[in-house]
Amino acid sequence: MKKKLLWAAGIVVVIAIVAFAAGPWVYKNWIVTDADAELALPSQTQGATVDVAGNWGVVAGPSTDDARTQAGYRVDEVLRGENITVNGRTTEVSGGITVTGSTLQSGTITVDVASIRSPDSSRDNRFRGTNIMDTAAHPTATFTITRPVDISGVPASGARATVPATGTLTIKGVERPVTTDLAVARSGSSVIVQGSIPVTWSDYGVEAPSIGSFVTVDKTGSIEFLVNLARS
């Protein structure tokens, strides 16, 4: 009887060790879904049907997941030696731009950070907490253009063009100057803008969370957005 108990206890210990060692693999391959593909301009666009000059407001855009207006974050994690990429997004995006001639004179994109969701509700709860985004106090983030942007190179044919933009990124109430490349296309009666801004979380008072030795979140990541605009 004693030998049977020892044998059973040994099996329990072995199972515990295997579960501990295999946990990250199971989490990565069975629990965590793959991160969404990086945001990009639609592969197919049509020629512009309206002049680019004027005021443009953010609209929802197409209903497809990869083309609708959306914004969020992308960051790498290390899960006990296993590298994974995670992201969260929201379609709650507002704002607009003003174009004079072929110059983007001003523009602001506002993201409802409190509504950002990932496939993991526990991660989302931590994300909204005081140590990370503190969305109760800072429910939105903004990107504001601070220097005129020359968009004369964006063709009316619908082909994409890349333009450099300088602005201010505000996260958790902290403003930082940023420079980023924007992918822009004129398609039908719309203007579509896509961008990804690298960030160091601590620059914005955001604590990259770690859960003991189990999960370590990278200290850098990116804020990504895809915005459809219509004349307003």
Identify whether the C-beta of residue 170 lies closer than 8 Å to the C-beta of residue 141. yes
According to CATH, the superfamily of the domain at 35-231 is: Lipid/polyisoprenoid-binding, YceI-like (2.40.128.110)
Q: Which stretch of DSSP H or E encloses residue 189?
A: none
User: If pLDDT is split at 50, 70 and 90, which confidence band does 15 have?
Assistant: very low
Identify whether the C-beta of residue 121 lies closer than 8 Å to the C-beta of residue 127. no
**Residue 199 CA to its chain's centroid (Å):** 11
pLDDT tens digits for range 122-175 = 999 999 999 899 999 999 999 999 999 999 999 999 999 999 999 999 999 999
Query: 155: exposed, middle or buried (C-beta count within 10 Å: 0-12, 13-18, 19+)?
Result: middle
Kindly list the distances between the CA atom of residue 185 and the CA atoms of 10, 49, 189, 200, 220, in Å, as whole numbers in the listed order.
Answer: 64, 12, 11, 29, 28
Kindly list the distances between the CA atom of residue 189 and the CA atoms of 166, 183, 185, in Å, as whole numbers in the listed order.
Answer: 26, 17, 11
User: If pLDDT is split at 50, 70 and 90, which confidence band does 14 have?
Assistant: very low
Residue 181: strand pairing partners? 164
Kindly list the distances between the CA atom of residue 147 and the CA atoms of 106, 109, 167, 168, 178, in Å, as whole numbers in the listed order.
Answer: 7, 15, 7, 10, 11
Residue 179 identity: T
Q: Residue ranges per domain, the chain?
A: 1-31, 35-231
The pTM of this model reads: 0.84
